[in-house]
Amino acid sequence: MGNVQRVLLLGGTSEIGQAIVRALLQGRSGVHVVLASRNPDSCGAFASELRGRGASVECLAFDADDPGSHRGVVDLAAAGGDLDVIITAWGVLGAPQCALDADPVSASAVVQTNFAGVVSAGLEAARVLRQQGHGTLVHLSSVAAERTRRANFVYGSSKAGSDAFMQGLADSLVGSGARVLVMRPGFVSTKMTAGMKPHPFSTTPEAIAAATVKALRGTATTVWVPGVLRVLFAVLRHLPRVVWRRLPI
């Protein structure tokens, strides 16, 4: 991983993204962090925390649903120097699946944010990393991307699309010096999932952050958190559909 000096967090208010930034700053000083979110003022408290840790911080406006603005945001973040790590860390659960069934407009908005926004921002990030000849794009995916469930298939399909895109982008960067790291966590206990019943093998932002930092030091392209999910889904992905749709998950 080398000595991380500049980090761009696209989705500056993401609890998981913030946990990764904290982990990257552990034991380091003088790191420059760019926090990009729809409302830059919402990053104020986290920016103050990072400055207290010895980092310099810049807050930018970033809207995942406005692909025309993504190039400008990434270029502005990279204007002060090469970006060592770029993190794509936004997403929406949307309404319950039963509500989305009757509201295609809201369903398409989930896909726009979780998939189309990742495609646009991901390509812009890869362009900069390819020009630099180094750096890692970290994408926060989900086990929901592995096989969609009837209980949330709009959300699951949006994550599956972004995951597949990042896998292909990773292959396209081979030989460039840049890379993509896809993190596939299980159910994560955050403010976004507050009130929801935790699934088996749930995890935390801090556990994902620790796994991310460890993976950045290696050559992995896809990391499951917790790791047992890789084995579990090796079985689940091959279940006959008639069995899969009857599972209470």
Query: Catalytic residue at 155?
Result: yes
Cα 2 to Cα 21: distance, rounded to the nearest angstrom: 15
46, 90, 155, 224: which one is catalytic? Answer: 155
Q: Is the pLDDT of residue 179 over 60?
A: yes
Q: Give the per-residue pLDDT at 108.
A: 97
With residue 101 as reference, give the H or E element that holds it: helix 97-101
What's the CA gap between 122 and 45, in Å, rounded?
Answer: 27
pLDDT bin (cut points 50, 70, 90) of residue 7 is very high
Report the pLDDT averaged over residues 186-211.
79
Q: pLDDT above 90 covers what percent of the chain?
A: 77
Residue 74 lies in a domain: yes
> Which of the pair, 202 or 124, is modelled with greater confidence?
124
Decide if 117 is inside a domain: yes
Scanning the structure block, which residue is given the tokens 């999910």?
Answer: 229
What is the domain-level CATH number for residue 32? 3.40.50.720
Range of the domain at 137: 6-244
**Overall domain count for the chain:** 1
**pLDDT of res. 199:** 67
Could you tell me if residue 220 is inside a domain? yes
> Whose structure tokens read 């995942």?
64
CA separation for the pair 224, 233 (Å, rounded)? 10
pLDDT in tens, 228-239: 988 888 888 888
Whether 249 is in a domain gets the answer no
Of 80, 100, 90, 144, nearest to 120 by C-alpha is 90
Domain assignment present for residue 104? The answer is yes
Taking 70 as the threshold, does the pLDDT of residue 151 lie above it? yes
The predicted-structure confidence for 89-126, as pLDDT tens digits, reads as follows 999 988 999 999 999 999 999 999 999 999 999 999 99
pLDDT band for position 196 (50/70/90)?
low
Model confidence at 27, in pLDDT bands (50, 70, 90)? confident
* pLDDT > 80? residue 136: yes
Residue 161 is assigned to a structural domain of this protein: yes
Residue 66 CA to residue 56 CA, distance in Å, equals 27
Pull the structure tokens for residue 75: 């270029």
Query: Residue 129 domain-assigned?
Result: yes
